Amino acid sequence: MDIENLIKDTFTAHEHDAPDSDQVLAATRQRLDRKRAVVSRPLAAGAGVVLLVLAAVAVVALNRPAHDNQVTTGAGPAAVAAPAEAAIAELTMPYSLGWLPPGKADYLARRINIGGSAANPEKPVYGGEYMLTVTSGRQVLLVDVQEMRMVPVEQAAFKSGPGQPVTLGGRAGVESSRSDGPGGYELYLTHPDGGSLYVNVAAQPGSTAPAQQLADVGRRVAENVAFPGKTTVTPAFGLGKLPGGLRMCAFDVEKGGPSGSRTSYSVGTCSTRPLVQVRSDEAGQVRGTAGEPVQGHATRYLDEDGYRTLWILKAVHDAPIAIAGSSAQAELYAIADHLVLPR
């Protein structure tokens, strides 16, 4: 199901309940830090490799026109070489959410694939993840849904004590026995392709929710997940045909917060490190000296003991794009030349 349409159709009545955007963004990032620190999960472990970005992976990038703040569904050919004036390719998620609790939602969609090879680029797939902040009145729920293909339900670990068996939609799983514990409601449900689908629903710090509500929401979210998914997310900028055998290893698309939209990619061979990070940035982060123009935009370049950053100024409306890594300066410029920027 189309996330953006699901949010729009279900949550319109709650638009007046939207929280302060700075608080939403801060809460989302707090979730990332809190979850990584408490639970060892494949996606979190993989994301730790991807510095300076919130990471994820693209298995297929659809060659469809981009629309601001739009998430669409469908299937299409893989992205091909794209000049700067081409449409920004949408990014496919591996599964779709069919239901979300009522409220105003901001989301983060991500995929990561570190460790694959050119011959078998989709393995291993650490999974896709949706992280949503859903606000209804004074209540704010944090909803996290992610694939954990390398963790069978038998290896489920919970933040609030032991789990208990459950069957949802005909699939076996294990859920937390205490939804009022520090982790909220947690569920590991058998993934149709092996491993687990992990669902976590908790009240944002400062908000409250009854334990039964958290369990009811988590179970219903899990029951309505569709495999394989057709959901796509629209990044703020895209990648064309990258030079030197490089490809997209990860993506992260965030909608909501003070910037309204943030996008980041990890670029490399996806089987060796280091990776190059390509991300929409804040103007206040720009440093360095003037560089060569890229696609009609002024640039700034900084070399900090071999870690190099190239900023393309006003590349996403008034925001810069940063291309950073230990690669040579020429490679950073080559990547910059192949970005697909908003018209």
Could you list the residue range(s) of the whole structural domain that residue 179 is in? 3-51+95-111+121-228
pLDDT tens column, 22-50: 443 444 445 444 433 333 233 333 333 22
- Mean pLDDT score of the chain: 76
- Of the listed ranges 242-256, 257-271, 286-300, the one predicted with least confidence: 257-271
In a domain, 191, yes or no: yes
Instruction: Write the DSSP assignment of 260-314 as a string of letters.
Output: SEEEEEEEE-SSSSPPEEEEE--GGG--SEE---BTTB-EEEEEETTEEEEEEEE
Mean predicted confidence (pLDDT) in 131-153: 93
In a domain, 339, yes or no: no
122: pLDDT confidence band, cut at 50, 70 and 90? low
Mean predicted confidence (pLDDT) in 147-171: 90
pLDDT for the residue numbered 269: 82
Mean predicted confidence (pLDDT) in 182-195: 93
In a domain, 43, yes or no: yes
Q: Which helix (H) or strand (E) holds 159?
A: none
pLDDT of residue 323 exceeding 90, the answer is: yes
Locus of tokens 């639970």? 39
In a domain, 223, yes or no: yes
Contact partners, residue 95, CB within 8 Å, separation at least 6 = 128, 147, 197, 225, 226, 227, 228, 229, 231
pLDDT for the residue numbered 271: 73
In a domain, 42, yes or no: yes
pLDDT of residue 83 exceeding 90, the answer is: no
In a domain, 219, yes or no: yes
In a domain, 39, yes or no: yes
| Domain total in the chain | 1
In a domain, 312, yes or no: no
